[in-house]
A = this chain, B = another copy of it.
Amino acid sequence: MNSTVPEPALEIARSRREHALSELRELLRIPSVSAQPERRADMQRAAEWIAARFRALGFSGVEVIATGGHPVVAGERTEAGAGAPTLLFYGHYDVQPPDPLGEWVSPPFEPQVRGENLHARGASDMKGQLVAFLAALEAMRQAGTPLPVNLKLLVEGEEEVGSASLPPLLRSQRERFACDYCLNSDAGILAPDQPSLTYGLRGLAYFELRVQGPSHDLHSGSFGGAVDNPVQVLFRLLAGMKDERGRVTLPGFYDRVRPLPDDERAELAKLPDDEAWWLEASGAPALFGEEGYSPRERAACRPTLDVNGVSGGFEGEGSKTVLPARAMAKFSMRLVPDQDPEEVRQSVLAYLKREAPPTVTWELIQMAGFKASLTGRDTPGVRAAATALERVWGKRPLFSRTGGSVPVVGQIRELLGVDSVLLGFGLPDDNLHAPNEKLHLPTFHRGIEAYIHFLHLAGPAGPALKGSATPSDNV
């Protein structure tokens, strides 16, 4: 049986857990924050680190490709030959900014194990997944297990800032990255004891709105009442984009929103995340959102708008009686099929042109824009992933949609013409993008084994091409 073939590699992976953890610590110490220009050298260092590891694993043509932004790591192992499928392994080595720094229990770039978790920025998103995949390949190499698929690499450094350099690269080197499907490891499962596969992601339209009133900060006593306040205008403009029940009020925003079919809603209702889970995971005093939808549906299948940051005027300790010259808000809409980020931008522009008063000037800057994605649940790659998860966890995975965005999934669909299989091992309470990001180590080690199973099953002899283990009987 196929299921016994990877046993030597699994044994080796189990014996090398400390080594995998040590490798991960080393990568986590590199503060590869793509949003911060002063981290450019660290970004290069992280890319070189990844490239060196793949070279040591027998990949050929490994290259750190310069882009207009941060570099991309490419390379390939093609010994499986023409009879085997070709997979494009996608990952990213960049991480979110660590602020607010004061809320970290341990410094974000000094990994610390507390209990079953390793704490560091990027531990879960997604250096942990990268190192798990490397560990799987290393175990197979040491076991002498041949790689039953051809593997190509695409490891980028701009996932957290919108993946702007990928489209030109994929366009100009389409052949280099040609594949049967993409294995995207920037993903997670529902709970440590509940494997799952994500088949749907939301899109994103991210903006920065800058509002300018007076030419310089004014004394609020001398001018207040006779000169408009750009912070107040910003508040009114943003408050007017979404109502108190979470419905976005921009004109036409819901026009292209694909209704959620009843059967899909019924499936999603079987997911284990009830209201208590959402309250616990968020720490919010009460849940929120559109009437008639469950929390999962609101956060994964319905579009929304969030303010991501705001600044203006005096933010320090104490009081300052200033009428600020300007204010800035970052805000973003999560999109669902078939919303179009460019149409959303046009709607925001039209709204601002209509609503912004003549007492201020304003500027809208688009920081990111890409569509949502939905991957078919009955494709060979998804079948291999489902079986791999079942073999490690001993239970069938649940199928889930999630509200996050992986822009590259849409870009790869558009530019390489293939779907993505999302197979990664982050957990919902990993504090992604937040202070005290962590990685659950038992899940990390299971993830290494799942990647070994997956690579085995994705080959010509696996269920992927035989049509077994169809996930359609899963929820």
Contacts and interface: CB of A to CB of B under 8 A. Distances in A.
A36 B246 CA distance: 39
A82 B285 CA distance: 67
Interface in A318-366: 318-325, 327-330, 332, 334, 357-361
Given A224-B334, A226-B298, A311-B310, A288 B359 contact: yes
B239 A285 contact: no
A215 B324 contact: no
Contact of A229 (B99, B222, B306, B402): B306
Nearest to A96: B320
A313 B299 contact: no
- Size class of the contact patch on chain A: 35 or more
Nearest to A161: B318
A226 B324 contact: no
Interface string A198-214: 00001010101000011
A392 interface: no
A99 B317 CA distance: 12
A367 B405 CA distance: 42
A363 B52 CA distance: 52
B308 A327 contact: no
A215 B246 CA distance: 19
Given A229-B306, A308-B319, A435-B216, A285 B242 contact: no
Given A220-B332, A221-B202, A434 B315 contact: no
Contacts of A156: none
A250 interface: no
**Most interface-central of A290, A312, A328 (chain B CB within 10 A):** A312
Contact of A313 (B220, B235, B285, B309): B309
Contact of A308 (B220, B330, B402): B220
Given A222-B402, A239-B232, A244-B236, A161 B288 contact: no
Interface in A39-87: none
Given A287-B227, A319-B368, A361-B285, A221 B314 contact: no
A206 B311 contact: no
Interface in A11-55: 34-37
Contacts of A236: 235, 239, 244
Given A238-B232, A319-B368, A306 B433 contact: no
A409 interface: no
A235 B317 CA distance: 20
A226 B330 CA distance: 19
B313 A308 contact: yes
B222 A403 contact: yes
A403 B223 contact: yes
A316 interface: yes
Given A215-B283, A225-B246, A242-B232, A308 B304 contact: no
8 closest cross-chain pairs (CB), A and B: A215-B283, A221-B404, A309-B313, A35-B318, A225-B304, A309-B314, A228-B288, A217-B434
Interface of A: 34-37, 96-97, 99-100, 103, 160-162, 202, 204, 206, 208, 213-229, 231-232, 234-236, 238-240, 242, 244, 246, 278, 281-290, 295-296, 298-299, 302-325, 327-330, 332, 334, 357-361, 367-368, 402-405, 428, 431-436
